[in-house]
Amino acid sequence: MIKKATFLVSNSDFKNCPATSKPEVALIGRSNVGKSSLINMLTNNKSLAKTSGTPGKTQLINHFDIDDKWLMVDLPGYGFAKASKTLKKDWDQMIRGYLTHRENLQVTFVLIDSRLEPQKIDLEFILWCAQNEVAVVLIFTKSDKLSNSKVKQNVNKFLKEMEKMFEEPPLYFISSAEKGRGKEEIIGFIEELVEEFEQESR
């Protein structure tokens, strides 16, 4: 479990991200997918990441130090319709630059809204990650908004789309920030990654 989460720094350029030997875990998703709520749930801190009903609130790369062991990275959401083309281009370069150049990045959690049918923008982003050798794990959010059977149905639809693109679909978790669903499993997965990173670094 996470005992201490501290905000470190925000950057608009991946080149200015903090120099560190700690492993990093990034979170990204379509605008308004519930990323900030998930971060606050995982870290037991309701005000760590700013939640908003306005899509596109996260516009910078935000680094958080977790228990002095690893870094959690909150990336700007993709697909914010109201953003200008220039702003979208800047965000795009920022996100892609970070994902392809950050050497200590262990995994990128791609958040998917479990209430929706498979979205083209999510599928395209995951495909881009695969083409650029960015390791991804899926987190289906807002599972408390639907019945378990409907969540399962939507998750299976998404995984079927994944099977068209990959031999094996990515690992995934189902979460609810409001109910705390998926918290232990996600944190346990991250802790295993951090342990492996530390062993390899010795």
Q: Please report which confidence band the pLDDT of residue 51 belongs to, taking 50, 70 and 90 as the band edges.
A: low
For 95-119, the pLDDT digits (tens) are 889 999 999 999 999 999 999 999 9
Fold (CATH) for 5-197: Rossmann fold (3.40.50)
Q: How far apart are CA 145 and CA 62, in angstroms?
A: 28
Report the b/e string of 86-109 with b at 16+ CB within 10 A. Answer: eebebbeebbeebbeebeebbbbb
Residue spans per domain, the chain: 5-197
∠ CA 179-72-93, rounded to 5°: 115
This prediction's pTM: 0.92
Do residues 11 and 95 lie in contact, with contact meaning Cβ atoms separated by under 8 Å?
no
